[in-house]
Amino acid sequence: MAEDVILTYTISDPVELNLSYMPFISGGGLFIPTQQKLALDEHITLHLQLPGHADVLKIPGKIIWITPSNALHHVVPGVGIQFTGSDALTVRAQIEMLLDTSMEVGGYTYGILDEPQKKT
């Protein structure tokens, strides 16, 4: 059996965390900006460093979203991962404690827009 792909993501500030977090993913998830070619349902291990934390979390997950580099609306290319494994909800809780709920990111998550851009 092949080993999981390892993705490394260092989130340096709360704005980036707010943009990366995908609250609508069951069990928790993040959007990881990357040019790396990955497939839906591919299992990965995310090495995640959160803002203000020196430790690196090793989170098992699977690819559930792909935003290609040629996506419309100039969104960031990358992948959405869903946390898997026994610590998924713990990791989700850790991330949610670090989110800046006073910060409005305009309905935007890296790689996703809430609604299509309207032409004027």
Q: What string of pLDDT tens digits covers the 120 residues of the chain?
A: 456 799 999 998 888 898 899 888 888 999 999 989 999 999 999 999 999 899 999 999 999 989 888 777 667 889 999 999 898 999 999 999 998 777 665 544 555 544 444 444
- At 74 the pLDDT is 62
Query: Do 108 and 19 contact (CB within 8 A), yes or no?
Result: yes
Q: What is the per-residue pLDDT for 32?
A: 93
Give the domains, in start order, of the chain with CATH numbers.
5-101 (2.40.10.220)
Burial class (CB in 10 A: 0-12, 13-18, 19+), 32: buried
Amino acid at 93: A
